[in-house]
Amino acid sequence: MVNTAGRCDPPLSFGIEIEAVVQPRKYRSHDVQHYEALARRLAGCYDIRADWNRGNRRKGTNYNVWYITRDGSLKAEDHEVALEAVSRKFEVSSCWEVEIDAFWTAMEDLFWLSSDLTDSNLSCGSHIHVAPSTRSFTLGELKQIALATIIHEDHILTILPEFRRNNKYCIPNSSVKDTQLWNDFGWLKNEEGLIECRRRIRSFRSTAELVKYMQGEERKVLWNFNNTLHNGSGTVEFRGGRFLSDAESTKSWATFAFLFIDRALRSNYLYVDYGLAWVPHWRDETEFRAERDDLWDDLISMANNQHMSCNLPATVHRMSEEESDEEDSSEEAEGSGEYEDSDEDSDEEYDDFEDSEDEEEEDQYYVY
């Protein structure tokens, strides 16, 4: 039983990487000019400090500001702009939702936004980085989080929208072959394997051992612990979030990620048996759904206790988008309209700017 009352100890902070492919309302010659326009819009109209990739560097160096940059893994069609918006560091206990609202208002000022399941949108995702506000995770805390992600891996997969469940950029940790986690639990999930996972995780004496166990050399996993290694950002990264096109979904996926970690830190999984309902090789579906719903109820309770009740939908089915929403489906995305060339951009030269790459680049969050 997890105590869902009060705030997390330690207090948590987080940052969001928002991948987007959008159609600009005003066409510009280079993608970097759109990055500049968004950064200037955030700063000039919404008092949000922001910087952009001018072509000389992809990674931001100041995590107190938003950073608008590229991501070569995104699939943009003609007259579309692929971008990645990396938020500043937020305290979970702050009124961060106001800034998320302002960011999406700025996006709507400059771009046509669509929630349709197009190839361009499906190439996008969202990544949420979570860490203690004033220090690094201890090894004991990382063990708690790691075991919770294993126990609830299948529950979380059913919380994700279907189009994110088999995505190559958020592979379930237990599905990474040739890791000890795969050998212990991934290839044949059963209660004995889960007990072995707990025994092995409890035995680790270093973060490096834990990271190797959880993902081997693979970074594109559902829960990425690689940033907790020496010289990393210190964050645990949740990579399962859907592509984002509005403030509501951004708040929901950010809240889910940091509350799951909050709940893991409150749990006692390392020392108390967690009885999953097993029949040989397969879960009992009724028991499985009950476990998943209990997890969701805990997250809802924690959101309510931390004054975030509006951030999560009331049901798992709404989060996973299995529940129809007639109001949402009746709304049509605004059309693309005519493109207008603009001469109002900065005089900065962009000809040497390279805006396409073959693979997803490394994460933005390095130093908190």
29-49 confidence digits (pLDDT tens): 899 999 999 999 999 999 999
Count of other CB atoms within 10 angstroms of residue 64:
8
337 has pLDDT over 50: no
105-129 confidence digits (pLDDT tens): 999 999 999 999 999 999 999 999 9
Residue 117 in tokens: 């399941």
Containing H/E element for 41?
helix 31-46
User: Distance between CA atoms of 53 and 85, rounded to whole angstroms?
Assistant: 10
The distance from CA 293 to its chain's CA centroid, rounded to whole angstroms, is 21
User: Distance between CA atoms of 52 and 60, rounded to whole angstroms?
Assistant: 8
Look at residue 59 in the predicted model and tell me its pLDDT. 65
Contacts of residues 174-183 at CB distance under 8 Å and 24 or more positions apart, as own/partner, are 174/150, 176/215, 176/216, 176/218, 176/221, 178/216, 179/212, 179/213, 179/214, 179/215, 179/216, 180/212, 180/213, 181/150, 181/213, 181/214, 181/215
45-84 confidence digits (pLDDT tens): 999 999 998 875 556 667 899 999 998 889 988 889 999 9
3-class SS at 194?
Answer: helix
Q: Where are the beta strands (DSSP E) in 225-292?
A: 236-241, 278-279, 282-283
178 has pLDDT over 80: yes
User: Distance between CA atoms of 215 and 224, rounded to whole angstroms?
Assistant: 8
Look at residue 275 in the predicted model and tell me its pLDDT. 57
Domains of the chain: residue spans and CATH: 12-330 (3.30.590)
CB hemisphere CA count around 359 (13 angstroms): 6
What DSSP assignment string belongs to 218-273?
A: ---BSEE-GGGSTTS---EEEEEEPP--SHHHHHHHHHHHHHHHHHHHH--TTTS-
User: Distance between CA atoms of 21 and 170, rounded to whole angstroms?
Assistant: 19
Look at residue 307 in the predicted model and tell me its pLDDT. 93
Indicate the residue type of 29: S
3-class SS at 40?
Answer: helix
User: Phi and psi at residue 83, in whole multiples of 5°?
Assistant: -145, 160
Task: Kindly report whether the peptide bond that precedes residue 161 is cis, defined as omega within 30 degrees of 0.
Answer: no
Of the candidates 257, 262, 224, which has an alpha carbon nearest to the alpha carbon of residue 365? 224
